[in-house]
Structure 1
């Protein structure tokens, strides 16, 4: 059976274009939080497409070092990173189970500490169940969340393979009866009763976080914070959705 989903706007098979190496890290289940300056417009399957910019070795190293350090907080020291970071390809998909603010995530003691340390942006999209395409599809991407073309979606849906993530996460629902209850403000009680992770004070971890932030800012400084490798979408969307897309920026630790 397919996953439950709730999609706002005119999305049917929503897709997000991300720069490498962030795109592959998400599809491979290493990255579990997709950070944005705006809340997720969907709950359910989100296809991931890699933008056309070739990642430089320094950026790849910075992000891999970051994930090594935050996984080490939870005792995971053997992480298999992708051998290649393909560009201009549809890579696979994840299930977005909700979205919370950074302030809520960093105080959420019911999730692994390493996941909490991924909270570096205004809004944190919570991702589970990564699946990769056995053969990535070449295609162009767009800004923000957009619909996959029907032919691409139908072919891609038949070519998915589950991913064995280093530390799979199941984000607990505030209301078990409501699969859409993970939304900004839903964890406000955690903010008042908990404090951010003490692991952030580790010099080695702090250096890894700083390196990851520096790697991400190379995109936010270009063309007024707009990714240079992503073409603006020209499909019909609601005014509210269009405004959200314009707000999309390359946040630290994310594409």
Structure 2
């Protein structure tokens, strides 16, 4: 037991060193459902490489109405198994935005999660993938940040993190869940295989699933499969994750777009040049010595760098601006 605890502690330290401000890009509507506390299990084909705060970024693909309908129906049905019928779904599913964060407390195999009777049935019904990341304590950004995502877990750029962490607000979940640790002395005790000794095949629930729940599960699987097939064709093992290749160019900074809830867009230049290209409102521009010097000069006049579109909330803007102090 001592050896096991020591090993898990080492893995925890290693993940903290590797991921300073970890972020995961997800397709919509799954990204918003997770940040709004409706989704508690993030399903993957690979185990969670970390515990602690995980930022959630919405990929660029606009979700179609059928996918949104299928996933909302899935959650209506599984919550109903615990008598919860009043679920407030997100009004919008924005894309290419940093939405908020959750706390990943561990990761289990699907067969462990579905048999864990300490959890509400609605949570166990979310165990539809090989590995289940256990997420709690969601927080959303009052002002979602427009940014580019990457494949897998990656670190947020420092300036984006410093602005985002100031803009978090609590979320009212339809059924808040706290995942109990098998070993209260070990914060990393929720890992794949950690609950296997508690369960056997004979303990697997044999209760018949209501037809409406079975239909909702089938719809959710079909909705997720559209992305899994695309990922497999590209030689990846990701699930519900935006397949965005990392730039071959090295970034020395990141421009930041902030969109308020009333639809206004603000653009903050980073004041530092990129190698390869610069991004402004999704338009790529080649870097030349001339525009590199132009970029450096613009940082001296931050106020003139700000591009505003009509209709912004001054209070929201001031809150976001507070977190974007350039060196």
TM over 0.5: yes
Cα deviation, residue 195, structure 1: 1.4
Q: Deviation per CA, 1:134-190, whole angstroms, max 9, x where unpaired?
A: 000000000000000000000000000010100000001000111111001111133
Match in the other structure for 2:153: 145
C-alpha contact (below 8 Å) 2:27/2:241 kept by paired residues: no
Structure 2 alignment gaps of length 5 or more: 1-11, 249-327
- Higher RCO (C-alpha under 8 Å, 6+ residues apart): 1
Aligned with residue 187 of structure 1, among 195, 203, 208: 195
Structure 1 residues 7 and 64, CA, compared in 2 at 3 Å: closer, same or farther?
A: farther
Match in the other structure for 1:124: 132
**Counterparts of 1:168 and 1:77 in 2: how far apart (Å)?**
14
Cα deviation, residue 220, structure 1: 1.6
Structure 1 residues 99 and 228, CA, compared in 2 at 3 Å: closer, same or farther?
A: closer
1:213 aligns with 2:221: yes
| Length-normalised TM-score, structure 2 | 0.67
Alignment of 1:23-62 (within 5 A): 23-62=31-70
Aligned with residue 243 of structure 2, among 223, 226, 230: 230
| Length-normalised TM-score, structure 1 | 0.86
**Counterparts of 1:197 and 1:22 in 2: how far apart (Å)?**
29
Give every structure 1 segment of 4 or more consecutive aligned residues whose post-TM-superposition deviation is greater than 4 Å.
225-229
**Counterparts of 2:147 and 2:13 in 1: how far apart (Å)?**
26
**Counterparts of 2:35 and 2:196 in 1: how far apart (Å)?**
29
| Most deviating of 38-47 and 222-231 | 222-231
**Counterparts of 2:20 and 2:63 in 1: how far apart (Å)?**
30
C-alpha contact (below 8 Å) 2:151/2:241 kept by paired residues: no
Q: Deviation per CA, 1:179-220, whole angstroms, max 9, x where unpaired?
A: 111001111133226313625x21110000000111111112
Q: Which has the greater radius of gyration? A: 2
SS of residue in 2 equivalent to 1:78? coil
SS of residue in 2 equivalent to 1:108? coil
C-alpha contact (below 8 Å) 1:38/1:122 kept by paired residues: yes
Match in the other structure for 1:13: 21
Structure 1 alignment gaps of length 5 or more: 236-255
Match in the other structure for 1:196: 205
RMSD (CA atoms): 1.8
1:85 aligns with 2:90: no
Match in the other structure for 1:160: 168
Match in the other structure for 2:286: none
**Counterparts of 1:233 and 1:184 in 2: how far apart (Å)?**
29
SS of residue in 2 equivalent to 1:231? coil
Alignment of 1:110-121 (within 5 A): 110-121=118-129
C-alpha contact (below 8 Å) 1:23/1:49 kept by paired residues: yes
Cα deviation, residue 228, structure 1: 8.5
**Counterparts of 1:46 and 1:218 in 2: how far apart (Å)?**
25
Structure 1 residues 146 and 30, CA, compared in 2 at 3 Å: closer, same or farther?
A: same
Aligned with residue 184 of structure 2, among 170, 176, 182: 176
Match in the other structure for 2:8: none
C-alpha contact (below 8 Å) 1:35/1:125 kept by paired residues: yes
